[in-house]
Amino acid sequence: MTFLSIPILTFLIFFPIVGGIFLLPFMKMKDSDTTVKWVAVGITIVEFIASLTLLIGGNPGTYQMQFAEDHLWIPFANIHYTLGIDGISLVLIIMTTLLMPMCIFTSWVGIKKRVTEFMIAILILEGAMIGVFAAMDFILFYVFWEAMLIPMFLIIGVWGGPNRIYATIKFFLYTLAGSLFLLLAIISLYFKGGHTFNIVALMGQHYSPVFQDFAFLALFLAFAVKVPMFPFHTWLPDAHVEAPTAGSVILASVMLKMGAYGFIRFSLPMFPKASIFFTGFIFALSLVGIIWGALMALAQEDMKKLIAYSSVSHMGFVTLGIFVFNAQGVEGAILQMINHGVTTGALFLCVGVLYDRTHSRLLSDYGGIAKVMPVFSTMLVIFSLSSLGLPGLNSFVGEFLVLLGAFRANAAVGVIAAIGIILAALYMLYLLSKVVWGKYEPRSWALPDMNRYEWASLLPLLLIVVWLGVQPNALLSMLHVSVTHLIGQVNPASPLASLTGGF
Amino acid sequence: MSFSLVNILGTMPEIYLTFFGCVILILDTMIPNEKRSWLAYFTIASLIFAMIASYGLNGKGLPLYQGLYIIDPFSNFFKMIIYIAAIITVLFSLPYLDREDIHIGEYYAFILFSTVGMMVMVSAGDLITLFLGIELMSLCFYVMVGLKKGSHRSVEASFKYFLLGAFSAAIFLFGISFLYGATGTETISGIAAFVANPGSLKPMILLGIVLTLVGFAFKISAAPFHMWTPDVYEGAPTVVTGFMSTASKIAAFGVFLRVFWVSFSADKVDWNLLIVILSILSMLVGNLVALRQTNIKRMLAYSSIGHAGYASMALLQPNRESLFALMFYVFVYMFMTLGAFGIVLMLRKSGEEGEDISDLVGLHKRHPIAAFTMLVFMFSLAGIPPFGGFLAKFYVFFAVIHAGYAWLAVVGIVFAAIGAFYYLRIVMLMYMKDPESSVVFNASSMGRIGLLLTAGMTVFLGVYPTPFVEYIKSSLAIFIP
């Protein structure tokens, strides 16, 4: 399928990047901020509409890579420009394109200096993120994976809070250090896996157990930093707190998913033996992450930090679900990725709404805002309830499926993970009780209810939260075949493998 | 020795440049001071002329003068890089030399003569020819480093460079004499034939290998032979530093490949350990010490030591992957390092160069384009895609893992992660702090062309390197089939 006679995936990657480059002349112009914002919104909305064609043209009945493109890129070491998506990358790409217009709406008031450059950074970032999900050549994947860091580094470092420099350098170096080991693993895979960087071709190989273990650990370092899993999570609260709202949303909703996507796309199918071997290790780290993240969230005074730690906890469910190796667990994990993207993105947007008015994120500065901002408070309550897993809203389904999968794999793991859900209720209700309910004390700042840009950024997410809560099958049906195939790759003995036939 | 026409024709580019260098010396006495920039245009024209002449000789694997001089695609590739580096250096020189009050005609002649020296180095088929090339290049550099006669630092740097350079030349010559004593020949192919013979005089050859290796390590400023680098780089006029840190190092790498891979490939096991030690030490010193620098020229000097370490890792295994990795690395390295020095030499504060790292603070506010260009160089030097520096590092690690030194690749990766910090710090200072000092970015139109060329190539080599990859592949075909 093509869009404006360009292959659709190439279009999705390069349209925002080229759009960003075309914004460059606006840097020199005076009073061009509003124009730039509207152009950026236009680009991201066109991008979103273009990405919907993936839904129309995609075939959910196959695990093969669709919309495939393949060209020789660098004629030494056989590096190709290969793109392709399956059900898993499809939903992640659509989530990305959906969130980007909202990131721009939320920056409408919040970003005051160097607006043009901010929009350029956001647009280039969008292209690189879609590239990560669409690349089917390992080097191409790595290029997007790392290139994405540059605009994010600038977004946090230039437009962030008071401690932004420390936060952004920590973010960059953590991710870079992990990624460099990924690069070594990629090169080793080339020599072990038949002199190719093609991801699908590399999956079909049989690697020796020792190599699998080493390569798995190298990939683990890169992805665990990104997810982030328990001992590697310390960059996350810093980066989230200091980033501007749009940066926090992109970090939480899209970038964290890339680590989990890496596990699903590379670690499991390429190193099935090592994945099974390290299951206990991943379970342990996930569970510690779930509980630790939740407990830390309870102790926070800063709203963004609270949500950041809740991300650590929620992403623990994702890694847990991936490594239970059954359909419920993995589908639940992917669903949880989407849900976390939508819900946490929305929560960060809500914090942004408050921060733009008051320039404070401290819980103690608020109280009883339901009286002055009733509509906004309703939104915040709904998103918080979604985050704590209220049945009928989106997060419930994902967490439920993960827990179901975990119980099937190991009852004790399921029980411990369930504690995380209880704690989630605790810290989200704590947040609500401090901010929304209670006695309203007038302060120096005015608290008008939401303006139209905030409506534009929050309303679509609200609809999705409700829709996915009622109709999770809409998503699950897209994932089903790809996930079944994935499980067949990891565990050929499972009864499902015969359905799809493995490789 | 016969002076047949083929020999003369094959060395025409060198002859042209020597001739044009002499012409500059004569012209210098005839044209008035304010017209001196014409000499720069003349230098660029003669370099382009020689470049075209070299290109015409491409593809002819000719041993000239009975094997003393070799013209092949491999040497031509290195000559092309040296030409481009020289052209960019001249582009950067124009306003800089005037501002530093060192705009003399001899400067351009020295640029051309040192270029000839480097061309002789990469084409040498004989160790004595090689030595002549190295000396011709070095003598020009000794003078150019001390060009700022009034500056204490510049003179000191020149003197230091001269003394240490003389030492290293003596050591190198000593090594050649051992090799000659053992094998009875100085031609590279003759030594190769002798070494391949199992009954060769081992200890003397080994001593010769070690001593010549020291000479090369000095020229590429690999640790522990790097001591001169920071002082000389800091003291020298920045244009000269840029030229020295790229062209002369690249020429030395070219020589190294030819001498060691052709002559001593049979004894590979013996010198591999030395290369491993050199590269690890260089990465260690380069990356760790650079963290503490406050002068940007010193920082770039240590960074260049670190890069010498990465590049030397590609010398381990004489095969196609390593050769390609090294050639691609030096190609990218030339653009990004020269470009970074170009930015530094265009920063001015109250009559002198803005060479403190703190001078870069808040550059983005005043000169967004200059800051963005520097950002490109810094991320590229740190090895972050989509810039050329990433692919360069990638191919080096690719070659190292292919050679079976996975552990060395891990060591290199760790240093790359540490090294990323000081490049990031520059970006951070430019973009995330408010300006303090009164530094202005002052570029002439020629300087802008130079920056556009270097930054453009740094990006282009990371995004679509295909034409250059094809060119490098065709250049290494003769060397390794």
For residues B161, B162, B165, B166, the Cα torsion angle rounded to the nearest 10 degrees is -160
Interior/surface letters B442-455, b for 16+ CB within 10 angstroms, e for the rest = bbbebbbebbebbb
Residues 6+ apart with CB under 8 A from B292: none
Q: Are B143 and B165 in contact (CB under 8 A)?
A: no
Residues of chain A found within 8 Å of residue B395, distances taken between Cβ atoms? 76-77
As given in the structure block, the two tokens for residue B75 are 């040497």
pLDDT, residue B273, reads 86
pLDDT, residue B274, reads 87
As given in the structure block, the two tokens for residue A164 are 């932004």
Choice between A310 and B477, residue whose per-residue pLDDT is larger: A310
For residue B400, give how far its alpha carbon lies from the nearest alpha carbon of chain A (Å): 10
Q: Which of B376, B387, B370, B377 minimizes the C-alpha distance to B447? A: B370
Phi, psi angle pair for B226, to nearest 5°: -105, 0
> Is residue A60's pLDDT more than 90?
no
As given in the structure block, the two tokens for residue A60 are 């959910």
> Is residue A340's pLDDT more than 80?
yes
As given in the structure block, the two tokens for residue B147 are 């060009």
Task: Round to whole Å and give the CA distance between A431 and A300.
Answer: 10
Q: Do the Cβ atoms of B432 and A158 come within 8 Å?
A: yes
Q: Which of B286, B311, B303 minimizes the C-alpha distance to B341? A: B303
HEC assignment per residue over A214-239: HHHHHHHHHHHHHCCCHHHCCHHHHH
Q: Are A95 and A460 in contact (CB under 8 A)?
A: no
Choice between B53 and A501, residue whose per-residue pLDDT is larger: B53
Residues of chain B found within 8 Å of residue A187, distances taken between Cβ atoms? 394, 397-398, 401, 409
Lowest-pLDDT range of A32-46, A432-446, B403-417, B424-438: A432-446
Question: Within 10 Å of residue B153's Cβ, how many Cβ atoms?
Answer: 13
Interface predicted TM-score of the whole assembly (ipTM), two decimals: 0.92
Q: Do the Cβ atoms of A168 and B410 come within 8 Å?
A: no
Task: Round to whole Å and give the CA distance between A18 and B439.
Answer: 33
Task: Round to whole Å and give the CA distance between B173 and B170.
Answer: 5
Side-chain half-sphere CA neighbours of A297 within 13 A: 31
Terminal-residue alpha carbon distance, chain B: 31
The answer to whether the Cα torsion of A76, A81, A87, A89 is positive or negative is positive
> Is residue A327's pLDDT more than 50?
yes
Q: Do the Cβ atoms of A184 and B324 come within 8 Å?
A: no
Helix/strand/coil for B63: strand
HEC assignment per residue over A43-67: HHHHHHHHHHHHHHHCCCCCCCCEE
As given in the structure block, the two tokens for residue B161 are 């460079």
Residues of chain A found within 8 Å of residue B410, distances taken between Cβ atoms? 181, 184
Task: Round to whole Å and give the CA distance between B451 and A418.
Answer: 59
Nearest CA in chain A to B403: A191
Side-chain half-sphere CA neighbours of B93 within 13 A: 27
DSSP structural state of residue A264: I
Q: Which of B230, B114, B84 minimizes the C-alpha distance to B164? A: B230
Task: Round to whole Å and give the CA distance between B306 and A383.
Answer: 50
> Is residue B305's pLDDT more than 70?
yes
Q: What is the mean pLDDT of residues B161-184?
A: 91
Q: Work out how many CB contacts closer than 8 A connect A with B.
A: 86
pLDDT, residue A496, reads 44
Q: Collect all residues from A whose CB is shorter than 8 A from any CB in B.
A: 27, 73-77, 139, 142-144, 146-147, 149-150, 153-154, 157-158, 164-165, 168-169, 172-173, 176-177, 180-181, 183-184, 187-188, 190-191
Q: Are B98 and B223 in contact (CB under 8 A)?
A: no
Cβ burial, residue A192 (10 Å; 0-12/13-18/19+): middle
H runs (alpha helix) in B31-149:
37-56, 73-99, 105-123, 127-145
- Strand pairing partners for A391? A393
Q: Do the Cβ atoms of B384 and A158 come within 8 Å?
A: no
Phi, psi angle pair for A162, to nearest 5°: -65, -35
> Is residue B13's pLDDT more than 60?
yes
Residues of chain A found within 8 Å of residue B394, distances taken between Cβ atoms? 139, 183, 187
> Is residue A105's pLDDT more than 80?
yes
HEC assignment per residue over A308-339: HHHHHHHHHHHHHHHCCCCHHHHHHHHHHHHH
- Strand pairing partners for A83? A69, A135
Which pLDDT band, with edges at 50, 70 and 90, does A499 fall under? Answer: very low
As given in the structure block, the two tokens for residue B293 are 């620098």
Lowest-pLDDT range of A24-33, A78-87, A384-393: A24-33
Q: Do the Cβ atoms of A183 and B394 come within 8 Å?
A: yes
Residues 6+ apart with CB under 8 A from B163: none
Residues of chain A found within 8 Å of residue B466, distances taken between Cβ atoms? 73-75
Among A146, A154, A168, the residue with its CB nearest the CB of B384 is: A146
pLDDT, residue A1, reads 59
pLDDT, residue A448, reads 83
Q: What is the pLDDT of residues B371-386, one digit of tens each?
A: 999 999 999 999 998 9
Share of chain A above pLDDT 90, in %: 42
Task: Round to whole Å and give the CA distance between A502 and A479.
Answer: 17
Q: What is the mean pLDDT of residues B172-187?
A: 89
Which residue carries 């250059």 as its tokens? B468
Which pLDDT band, with edges at 50, 70 and 90, does B269 fall under? Answer: low
Q: What is the pLDDT of residues B318-373, one digit of tens each?
A: 888 888 999 999 999 999 999 999 999 888 877 677 788 888 888 888 888 899 99
Q: Which of A480, A212, A179, A26 minimizes the C-alpha distance to B420? A: A179
pLDDT, residue B211, reads 92
pLDDT, residue A503, reads 33
Q: Do the Cβ atoms of B321 and A77 come within 8 Å?
A: yes
DSSP structural state of residue A302: B
Q: Helix (H) and strand (E) counts for chain A?
A: 23, 4
> Is residue B475's pLDDT more than 80?
yes
Choice between B47 and A193, residue whose per-residue pLDDT is larger: B47
Task: Round to whole Å and give the CA distance between A338 and A386.
Answer: 13
Which residue carries 């990358």 as its tokens? A89
Q: Are A359 and A427 in contact (CB under 8 A)?
A: no
Lowest-pLDDT range of A32-46, A152-166, B237-251, B257-271: B257-271
Phi, psi angle pair for A23, to nearest 5°: -80, -15
Q: What is the pLDDT of residues A248-270, one digit of tens each?
A: 999 989 999 999 999 999 998 89
Residues 6+ apart with CB under 8 A from B57: B10, B12, B13, B71, B76
Q: Collect all residues from B whose CB is shorter than 8 A from any CB in A.
A: 321, 324, 328, 368, 379, 384-386, 390-391, 394-395, 397-398, 401-402, 406, 409-410, 413, 416-417, 420-421, 424-425, 427-428, 431-433, 465-466, 469-470, 472-473
pLDDT, residue A501, reads 35
As given in the structure block, the two tokens for residue A337 are 């990725």
As given in the structure block, the two tokens for residue B196 are 């391949």
Q: What is the pLDDT of residues A151-174, one digit of tens each?
A: 999 999 999 888 899 999 999 999
> Is residue B308's pLDDT more than 70?
yes
As given in the structure block, the two tokens for residue A155 are 């977004």
Give the DSSP H or E segment for A109.
helix A87-110
Share of chain A above pLDDT 70, in %: 97
Q: What is the pLDDT of residues B279-304, one digit of tens each?
A: 999 999 999 999 889 999 999 999 99
Task: Round to whole Å and give the CA distance between B109 and B143.
Answer: 11
pLDDT, residue A68, reads 86
Q: Do the Cβ atoms of B410 and A184 come within 8 Å?
A: yes
Q: Do the Cβ atoms of A157 and B432 come within 8 Å?
A: yes
For residue A64, give how far its alpha carbon lies from the nearest alpha carbon of chain B (Å): 28
Which pLDDT band, with edges at 50, 70 and 90, does B60 fall under? Answer: low
Residues of chain A found within 8 Å of residue B416, distances taken between Cβ atoms? 180
Q: What is the mean pLDDT of residues A185-208?
A: 88
Among A74, A143, A153, the residue with its CB nearest the CB of B385 is: A143
As given in the structure block, the two tokens for residue B4 are 């047949």
pLDDT, residue A24, reads 87
Phi, psi angle pair for B440, to nearest 5°: -115, 150
Question: Within 10 Å of residue B165's Cβ, how many Cβ atoms?
Answer: 21
0.90 surpassed by pTM: yes
pLDDT, residue A500, reads 38
Lowest-pLDDT range of A456-470, B404-418, B436-450: B436-450
Q: What is the mean pLDDT of residues B120-144?
A: 92
Cβ burial, residue B155 (10 Å; 0-12/13-18/19+): middle
pLDDT, residue A108, reads 85
The pLDDT mean for chain A works out to 88
The strand order across the sheet containing B347-349 reads B352-353, B347-349, B440-441
Beta strands A2-3 and A6-7: pairing type?
Answer: antiparallel
Among B398, B432, B469, the residue with its CB nearest the CB of A187 is: B398
Q: Which of A40, A197, A31 minimizes the C-alpha distance to A120? A: A40
Give the DSSP H or E segment for A81.
strand A79-85
pLDDT, residue B3, reads 59
Among B421, B427, B469, the residue with its CB nearest the CB of A75 is: B469
Lowest-pLDDT range of A305-319, A462-476, B67-81, B198-212: B198-212
Task: Round to whole Å and give the CA distance between A344 and B188.
Answer: 67
